[in-house]
Chain A
C-alpha cells in the first residue's frame, strides 16, 4: 500500500513540476497547489499507513496507528490553503496591473 501511495506522490510531483515550469501564471499557481498535496500524502505515508487501532489508551491493547502525521498534515493543509488563496489574489492583481499573465513578459527590464 505504501509503495502505491508513493507512486501517486511521484505522479503528483511530476504533474506539479510540469505545471510550475510552464509560462502561464494560473498554471504555476495550480502547480504549487498540486505540489502541496503531494507533500501531504508523503508525510502521511512516511508515518506508516493504517496498521493498528485508534491511538486511545484503554480502547484497545494496540498496536496503535501513529496519529502524529495526521496532525502535521492538518496544519500543513491549512497553511497551504491560506498561501494558495493569497497567491491567487496576488496573481489576479499582477494580471490586472501588468496586463499579462505570461512570465516571459513579467521578467522585468534592467532599466526600470
Chain B
C-alpha cells in the first residue's frame, strides 16, 4: 500500500518522457497531461485518507531501512500540499491549452510542466535532505526551460538572471549539506532531527541551520526576493501563474519542514531571525505593491506579502499558528494562481499593463470583473473565502505566543493587499468604459473557465473548511510534535 507514495513523482516523470515522443500530436499531449495530473490528485486523496487511518506513512526505496536508504515520507502536511499543487497545476494547464498557442505546445511545454510538477511533488514527499536537493533541481531545471520558452528579448534576459540566482542558491544548498553531513553524519531528515536534538544548542548546528535558511529564503522569496518581481512578470500568463503558485511554496515548505523538524534546537536564534525576515518581507512587499502601477508587478509583490505572512506563522510556532500555516499555504497556492491568471487575462484583453491605461473592464466583461472581486476578497482574508481561516489561526497563534509585532504587521499587510488590489479594481474594472463594443476582444467562456474553477476552489477551501479540518489538524499536530514524524520514520528509535 505504501508504494503509492512514489506515484506523484514517478507518474509525471514517465508521462513527461512519453510526451516528448508525441511532439506533433498536440491533442493527445493535452489529454495525457491532464489525465496525469488528475491521477496524481486521486492518488493524493487516497493517501490523505490512508494517513488519517494509519498515521504517517513511509516508503523505503529498495528496502534499505532508514536511516541508510533514501525514503519518501507522507504526512498530512506534505500530501495536502501535493493535492492542492496538482489541482492548481491542472487548472493552469487547462488555461494554457486555450491560451498559450501551438508554438509553445510543440516545444515540449507539457513535458516541462509535468517535470516541474514531479519535482514539486518529490520535494514535498521526500524524507531525505539530499533527495530534497535533487527534487529541487528537477523542478528548477524544468522551470529554467519554462521561463525561457518563447525566447523574447526581455524574457531571455530575465531568465538568465533567474537561472544564475538559482545556480548560486543551489551552490549554497550543497555547501550547507556538506556542513550538515560533516556535523551530524546523516542525511535522513528524521535522523538529523534526532541527532540535532541530542546535540542541543550547538553553535555549529545553528550556523548550518542559518545556511539552510538562506538557501530556502532565496527559493521562497523571503527577504532575498530581489529576483522575483522581474522573473515572474516575463513568462506567459499560464507559466507565471504556475510559478507563483508552486515554486515559492516549495521553498516555504522546505523552510517549514526544516524549522519545525530539523532545527528546533536553538529556537531563540533561528525563529527570531525567521520572524524578522518575515516582518521585513511583509513591509517590503507592501511598499512594492502600492508603489507600482504595473499590474504584473503588483501581483508579484503580492506573492511576497503572502510569503512573509506564512513564514510569520512559522516563526510564531504555536500549534494553532502551524495549522494556520498549513491552511494559508493551501489558500495561497490557489489564490496566487487565480491572481496571476486574472492579471494575465487583463493584459491579454487590453494590451496594456498599467492601471491608468485600463478602465471600465467590468462593463465589457462582467463575469471577469466579479471573479477579480472575489480574488481580492479572498486574498484580503474576508470570510467565508479561503484566506480568512488561515489568517485567524495565525493571528490566534500570535496572541498565544505573544508575538504582537508580527500580529500587527500581518494584519496591516492584509490591508495593504486589499488596498493594492482595490486600486486595480477601481482603476481598471470600474470607471468610464474606454473599450467600445466594436473594439472589444471576445472573451470566450472556455478561457474564463479555469478562473471560475479556481474561484470555486477558493470558495470551497473557505466554506469546506469543516471538511478539511481533520487533515489540517493532523498536519499541524505532526508539525508541532516532531516526534510523531521521527517515530514513524525510525520505528521508534535508532541505536546509532
- Name A residues whose Cβ lies closer than 8 Å to a Cβ of B: 20, 25, 28, 32, 35-36, 39-40, 42-43, 45-47, 68-69, 72, 75-76, 79, 82-83, 86-87, 90-91, 93-94, 97-98, 106, 108, 112
A90–B160 Cα distance when bound, in Å, is: 7
**Interface residues in B127-177 (C-beta closer than 8 Å to A):** 130, 133-134, 137, 141, 144-145, 148, 151-154, 156-161, 163-164, 167-168, 170-171, 174-175, 177
- Find out whether the CB atom of B153 lies under 8 angstroms from the CB atom of A98: yes
In whole Å, how far is B223's beta carbon from the nearest beta carbon of chain A? 21
Residues of B within 8 A of A35 (CB): 167-168, 171
| Contact of B101 with A by CB under 8 A | no
In whole Å, how far is A28's beta carbon from the nearest beta carbon of chain B? 6
- Find out whether the CB atom of A112 lies under 8 angstroms from the CB atom of B160: no
Q: What is the size, in residues, of chain B's interface with A at 8 Å between Cβ atoms?
A: 33
**28 chain-A/chain-B pairs, Cβ below 8 angstroms:** A28-B164, A32-B167, A36-B167, A39-B174, A42-B175, A42-B178, A43-B181, A46-B179, A46-B181, A47-B182, A68-B187, A76-B133, A76-B174, A79-B137, A83-B144, A86-B144, A87-B160, A87-B163, A90-B148, A93-B148, A93-B151, A94-B156, A94-B157, A97-B152, A106-B160, A108-B157, A108-B158, A108-B230
- Find out whether the CB atom of B160 lies under 8 angstroms from the CB atom of A39: no
- Name B residues whose Cβ lies closer than 8 Å to a Cβ of A: 130, 133-134, 137, 141, 144-145, 148, 151-154, 156-161, 163-164, 167-168, 170-171, 174-175, 177-179, 181-182, 187, 230
Specify the main secondary structure of chain A where it touches its partner: helix
A94–B161 Cα distance when bound, in Å, is: 11
Across the two chains, which residue of chain A brings its CB closest to B144?
Answer: A86
- Find out whether the CB atom of B151 lies under 8 angstroms from the CB atom of A97: yes
Query: Which of A20, A82, A94 has the most chain B CB atoms closer than 10 A to its own CB?
Result: A94
Residues of A within 8 A of B152 (CB): 97
Across the two chains, which residue of chain B brings its CB closest to A35?
Answer: B171
In whole Å, how far is A15's beta carbon from the nearest beta carbon of chain B? 14
A47–B161 Cα distance when bound, in Å, is: 33
Q: Known: A20-B168, A98-B153, A112-B154. Is A46-B174 also a contact (CB below 8 A)? A: no
A76–B173 Cα distance when bound, in Å, is: 11
Extra A-B contacts (19), CB below 8 Å, given A94-B159, A97-B151, A106-B160? A20-B168, A28-B164, A35-B167, A39-B174, A42-B178, A46-B178, A68-B181, A68-B187, A72-B181, A75-B130, A76-B133, A83-B137, A83-B141, A83-B167, A87-B160, A98-B156, A106-B161, A108-B158, A108-B230
- Find out whether the CB atom of A43 lies under 8 angstroms from the CB atom of B157: no
Residues of A within 8 A of B161 (CB): 106
A76–B130 Cα distance when bound, in Å, is: 10
Residues of B within 8 A of A47 (CB): 181-182
Q: Known: A39-B171, A47-B182, A108-B230. Is A86-B154 also a contact (CB below 8 A)? A: no
Residues of A within 8 A of B163 (CB): 83, 86-87, 90
Q: Known: A69-B181, A76-B174, A108-B157. Is A82-B230 also a contact (CB below 8 A)? A: no
A106–B151 Cα distance when bound, in Å, is: 15
Residues of B within 8 A of A108 (CB): 154, 157-158, 230
